[in-house]
Structure 1
Amino acid sequence: MGNTCAWPILRTTDLAEALTLAEKLLSVASWYNPNACHLNAWVHDDGELRRLIQALLGAGVRWYGKGPGDFPATVSLGAAAFAQAEEALTTWAGITRCYVLWHDMKWPAVVELGLDEEYKYAELQVACNSHDIHCQEWAAEHTVFIHARPGHEARAAWLAARVGARIVGPTEEGW
């Protein structure tokens, strides 16, 4: 067991820019299953809930209060391809804070850093309207995060450099 660490490598108000960077990073992964992708959005009232569910059919709701109608809640949806995740995230980002997370991938070995391939802690995330991975606080920007093994900031920096980016903030404990 263990949690990832997440390093932010881009903060931008342009969601297309964030998604383009994410797609480039997915191409760096040595193995990638496009079906292993899910979206989550925070819901704070009935209006948001209705808009999210109507926008993308098939989304599930998880309540954190005593039951249905007791907010907050999360709305979740799986995506089978990058284009589907891109469309869903763009739609949801216009409504509330949300994120897309890709997993079931391997970060490549980095021989010069003495790092083997990484599967267990390899994830990629785009958080919309937020600077944190859990989308707890609203922000005007979207953030791209590389998730990797704790202590592997050098891997995160190496991955970011492969796509013309760099680490732009402190690490967060992941999942």
Structure 2
Amino acid sequence: MSNPIAYPVFRTTDPVLALRVARQLVAVGDWQYAEVSVDVELCTVPEVLRIREALPDAWFRKEDVEDWAQDPSDPTGLHGGVHAPTLSSDPDFLTSHLPLWASMQYRPVGSVEEEFAVLVGPNIGEIWWSSLVWPDVPESGIQGEANNARVSLLFNCRARDLDERAGYHTVLVHVLRRSSDKEAEERHASWLAGQIGQSVIGPRQE
């Protein structure tokens, strides 16, 4: 069962540079079977319409537990997700459901990252690469890892829960969570970061 933990290894105000570093980190592992996903929070109608036009294969959803509890039948489809071509463009409808999240999941590596890094703009968002394989490093006591090998790039936010805005972008490396050996966790994250000239720069993120 996958149970990763993430460590920040790079931070910058330049989204292009952040993406470059994230890609370098992805390349440390075996990414033959890797996939990439993106997610962005949209707080205004113009932003929703802009992303709907730019990413016609995106899915839009509303993350509101109270709204779900009030009407679990999901009449708008926004709890389950609405495909961009079928999302209403009516401003009154969209306004009543803001913020909306737009996502594209499990795409081929290299298919969406560069475009998304430009499109995300001032919004909170994330790119994450999954199904990587971290290499064995026997001389450092590090075992190869597949189930938990991931890389995340956070835009305009502090942490992976995507609920605290920040004026920078952060690259995180994911390794196997080891509740009984956090030093081994951080040693693995540090080794991976070191392969691209970076280092762990903050506490781990759940």
> TM-score, normalization: structure 2?
0.76
Could you tell me which residue of structure 2 aligns to residue 49 of structure 1?
A: 48
Q: Which amino acid aligns with 1:144?
A: V
Any idea what SS the aligned residue of 1:106 has? coil
The gaps in structure 2 that reach 5 residues or longer are 68-75, 79-95, 179-184
Q: Deviations over 1:38-95 (max 9, x none)?
A: 1001233433322221222111012223354433332101442325312122212x14
Q: CA deviation at 1:169?
A: 0.7
Could you tell me which residue of structure 1 aligns to residue 25 of structure 2?
A: 25
Could you tell me which residue of structure 2 aligns to residue 119 of structure 1?
A: 146
- 2:103 paired with 1:76: yes
1 CA distance for matches of 2:175 and 2:133? 10
Give yes or no for contact 1:29–1:106 (8 Å, CA) kept in 2: yes
| Correspondence for 2:197 among 160, 164, 168 | 164
| Structure (1 or 2) with the larger CA radius of gyration | 2
Could you tell me which residue of structure 2 aligns to residue 4 of structure 1?
A: 4
Q: Which amino acid aligns with 2:113?
A: A
1 CA distance for matches of 2:47 and 2:126? 15
> TM-score, normalization: structure 1?
0.88
Higher deviation after alignment, 15-24 or 64-73: 64-73
Could you tell me which residue of structure 1 aligns to residue 15 of structure 2?
A: 15
Give yes or no for contact 1:63–1:72 (8 Å, CA) kept in 2: yes
Any idea what SS the aligned residue of 2:164 has? coil
Give yes or no for contact 1:104–1:123 (8 Å, CA) kept in 2: yes
Deviating above 6 A after TM superposition, structure 1's stretches of 4 or more consecutive aligned residues are none
Give yes or no for contact 1:11–1:142 (8 Å, CA) kept in 2: yes
Q: RMSD of aligned C-alpha atoms?
A: 1.8
2 CA distance for matches of 1:124 and 1:10? 12
Note closer, same or farther for the CA distance 1:81–1:121 as it changes in structure 2 (3 Å cut). Answer: closer
Give yes or no for contact 2:2–2:147 (8 Å, CA) kept in 1: no
Note closer, same or farther for the CA distance 1:83–1:64 as it changes in structure 2 (3 Å cut). Answer: closer
| Correspondence for 2:137 among 110, 121, 125 | 110
Could you tell me which residue of structure 1 aligns to residue 93 of structure 2?
A: none
Could you tell me which residue of structure 1 aligns to residue 170 of structure 2?
A: 143
Give yes or no for contact 2:15–2:117 (8 Å, CA) kept in 1: no
Give yes or no for contact 1:48–1:95 (8 Å, CA) kept in 2: no
Aligned length: 171
Give yes or no for contact 1:51–1:95 (8 Å, CA) kept in 2: no
- Share of identical aligned residues, percent? 29
Give yes or no for contact 2:31–2:133 (8 Å, CA) kept in 1: yes
Give yes or no for contact 1:11–1:131 (8 Å, CA) kept in 2: no
2 CA distance for matches of 1:27 and 1:81? 11
Higher deviation after alignment, 129-138 or 60-69: 60-69
2 CA distance for matches of 1:157 and 1:165? 8
The gaps in structure 1 that reach 5 residues or longer are none
Could you tell me which residue of structure 2 aligns to residue 85 of structure 1?
A: 113
